[in-house]
Amino acid sequence: MAYPTIDYLPSLTAQQLALAHPLVLDKPSGLSPGSGWDLSVDANTNSAYAALDDLYSFTMIENATYDIFSHSFFDPYMITLYDQAGRVIAIDKESDSGYGMDYLSNFVAPYSGKAYVEAGWHQGSAAVHLSAALSIYADLDTIPKPTNTMIGNDGVDIFMATKSSDLVDGAGGVDTMVYTGKRGDYDIVKSGAELKIYSLVSNDGVDSLRNVEKLRFSDSVSDIRHSDLAQALYVSYFGRAADTGGLKGFQARLSELNAPSSAAELSARYNTDASVKGLIDSFGSSAESNALYSGDNKAFVRAIYSNLLGREPDQGGLDFWTGAINTGALTRANASLSIMAGAQGNSSTQGKLDALLIGNKISVASNFTYGLETEGKTGAYNGLGAAAVSRDLLKQVTANTDAFTFQTQVIKAVASLPTSAGGLSPIGDAPPHADAPLILLSGVDSQPPSLLYA
């Protein structure tokens, strides 16, 4: 979109953009309820030469209002705000409230995406150790609320994104949301059954989608059917989010198999569908899964609980699953999916918490994979170091996590991906062979849910 720039001031070079320090705005602490700010971030230093290294980057949200404060021992020279291309879009007017502080107020973001801010610190001699700080505050109340509602029917619906914020429910059938921009122009964030779509390049508002199965962009189509189930397999067997290619490959394979949408329904087809059995068995027998879950059968079950549910199993659950593996009723290869399905179907208090945790992990894993595309990090998600970044992110998720709010952590994780592969990891493996044998746990349907995984 078009917005004014201050062309008489020099733009940042590509080298300067690359060296900017990333900041992530999050919910502020210690602010009074009436402050009006919803997000904030601070950068503080007393290092020598800090004034020579005062360029920071952050992600703006379109139509949010930003206040930026710069503090240094001597009065800062000038706060300068740059767009994602490095062009100047705002400066403070030196109408600050006191010596040692500059204040850029009421800046309304013209787009959602990266911005850069130069603090303009003034420490006197560059070698002097004097304090300096940069604070950024965001007011989200100025973002327009959804104004355009579109409801589908049980057939095939095609919705066209508008310039306003769209609230879309596709209802039944296979429905498509169409966007005029390229895939990389949009940020996709999932929480449960809801997707939020943010344009990074235009003033199109924020779209909220439910029951929409396909996203069509000018350069690609994202089919999100079986996305949750494919991510569930990655989370349960590998403890991490899927890579972009792997996710698409397994989604396509699940679609070819006319697979159901849940782990429990997939489990129900073990006895009747050799192709489904082979697909799941290939996950469980993979080198990556075997490295994550090792030891004797008790240690193996404990490792699944720790990775998937973040806790130790109670004695009944440990005995049940270990006994099933010991007797050969359940193979180690299919144990992770069986335990996940049991957790999602358990109605006890602990079971409900575990089901919420699994759902939140799947949402966050999806947002990580979406972020790889948006941030151009697809190639960086490769190797042991990158896999560890994703696993560490999912370990922070709890039953109470709000995936939309947690997106700040996802952005940090994607941004931190190492630039080179840290070792060999089967990220991006081709879809597995369909004829691998799978031994089923017999009698699952006749067991009380609490015995299946507690």
Tokens for 300, please give them.
Answer: 């193996």
- Number of Cβ within a 10 Å radius of residue 315: 9
Query: 164, 148, 144, 166: which is closest to 204 by C-alpha?
Result: 164
Question: When comparing pLDDT for 39 and 145, which is higher?
Answer: 39
| Number of DSSP helices (H) and strands (E) in the chain, helices first | 13, 18
Give the least confident one: 105-109, 209-213, 325-329: 325-329
Is-contact 369 251, C-beta < 8 A?
no
- DSSP H/E element including 221: strand 221-223
Q: Looking at the structure, tell me whether residues 193 and 100 fall in a common domain.
A: no
Q: Specify the pLDDT at position 146.
A: 65
Give the least confident one: 90-99, 127-136, 259-268: 90-99
Is-contact 187 206, C-beta < 8 A?
no
Q: Looking at the structure, tell me whether residues 425 and 295 fall in a common domain.
A: yes
Distance CA 339, CA 3 (A): 53
Residue with tokens 């089967």: 426
**Average pLDDT of span 278-292:** 88
Q: Is residue 105 part of a domain?
A: yes
- Residue 34 confidence class, pLDDT cut points 50, 70, 90: low
Model confidence at 292: pLDDT above 50: yes
**Average pLDDT of span 9-36:** 84
Distance CA 151, CA 131 (A): 55
Domain final position from 142, 171, 188: 142
Q: Looking at the structure, tell me whether residues 282 and 408 fall in a common domain.
A: yes
Q: Is residue 362 part of a domain?
A: yes
Q: Specify the pLDDT at position 159.
A: 96
Q: Specify the pLDDT at position 423.
A: 37
Q: Looking at the structure, tell me whether residues 317 and 442 fall in a common domain.
A: yes
Summarize pLDDT for 238-264 with one digit per residue, the tens: 999 999 999 999 998 998 988 888 888
Q: Specify the pLDDT at position 194.
A: 94
Tokens for 446, please give them.
Answer: 């006749």
Summarize pLDDT for 62-72 with one digit per residue, the tens: 889 999 999 99
**Average pLDDT of span 137-154:** 85
Q: Looking at the structure, tell me whether residues 369 and 412 fall in a common domain.
A: yes
Summarize pLDDT for 185-241 with one digit per residue, the tens: 999 999 999 999 988 887 677 899 999 999 999 999 999 999 999 999 999 999 999
- Work out whether strand 101-108 and strand 65-72 pair parallel, antiparallel, or are unpaired: antiparallel
Q: Looking at the structure, tell me whether residues 199 and 242 fall in a common domain.
A: no
Q: Which residues contact 128 (CB under 8 A, 6 or more apart)?
A: 48, 73
Q: Looking at the structure, tell me whether residues 218 and 268 fall in a common domain.
A: no
Q: Is residue 174 part of a domain?
A: yes
- Structural domain for 198, as ranges: 148-223
Q: Is residue 1 part of a domain?
A: no
Domain final position from 92, 116, 142: 142
Phi-psi region of 434 (alpha: psi -120 to 50; beta: other; left: phi over 0): alpha
Query: 339, 309, 341: which is closest to 321 by C-alpha?
Result: 339
Query: 204, 208, 237, 235: which is closest to 394 by C-alpha?
Result: 235
Q: Which residues contact 350 (CB under 8 A, 6 or more apart)?
A: 454
DSSP conformation class of 12: P
- CATH number, position 48: 2.60.120
Q: For residue 256, how many C-alpha atoms fall within 13 Å in the half-sphere facing its CB?
A: 11
Domain final position from 142, 165, 198: 142
φ, ψ at 415 (rounded to 5°): -65, -25
Query: 281, 257, 376: which is closest to 331 by C-alpha?
Result: 281
Summarize pLDDT for 131-141 with one digit per residue, the tens: 899 999 999 88
Q: How far is CA 294 from the centre of its chain?
A: 28
Model confidence at 430: pLDDT above 80: no
Q: Specify the pLDDT at position 126.
A: 66
* Cα four-point dihedral sign 98, 99, 101, 102: positive
Question: If you average pLDDT over every residue of the chain, what do you get?
Answer: 85
Is-contact 61 119, C-beta < 8 A?
no
Distance CA 121, CA 373 (A): 35
Model confidence at 437: pLDDT above 70: no
Q: Is residue 389 part of a domain?
A: yes
Q: Looking at the structure, tell me whether residues 27 and 131 fall in a common domain.
A: yes
Buried b (16+ CB within 10 A) or exposed e, 347-356: eeebbebbbb
What value, to the nearest 5°, has the Cα angle with vertex 274 and ends 271 and 278?
110
**Average pLDDT of span 76-83:** 94
Distance CA 410, CA 389 (A): 10
Q: Is residue 189 part of a domain?
A: yes
Distance CA 264, CA 150 (A): 32
Q: Looking at the structure, tell me whether residues 274 and 391 fall in a common domain.
A: yes
Tokens for 118, please give them.
Answer: 């130069």
Give the least confident one: 167-181, 266-280, 394-408, 433-447: 433-447
Q: Looking at the structure, tell me whether residues 35 and 131 fall in a common domain.
A: yes
pLDDT over 70 for what percent of the chain? 88
Q: Looking at the structure, tell me whether residues 378 and 275 fall in a common domain.
A: yes
- Residue 35 confidence class, pLDDT cut points 50, 70, 90: low
Q: Specify the pLDDT at position 449.
A: 33
Q: Is residue 3 part of a domain?
A: no
C-alpha pair distances (Å), 348 with each of 351, 352, 370, 449, 451: 5, 6, 33, 9, 11
**Average pLDDT of span 120-124:** 87
Model confidence at 436: pLDDT above 70: no
Q: Looking at the structure, tell me whether residues 266 and 165 fall in a common domain.
A: no
Q: Is residue 96 part of a domain?
A: yes
Tokens for 186, please give them.
Answer: 């949009």
Question: When comparing pLDDT for 29 and 39, which is higher?
Answer: 39
- CA Rg value for the chain: 25
Total number of domains constituting the chain: 3
Distance CA 104, CA 65 (A): 11
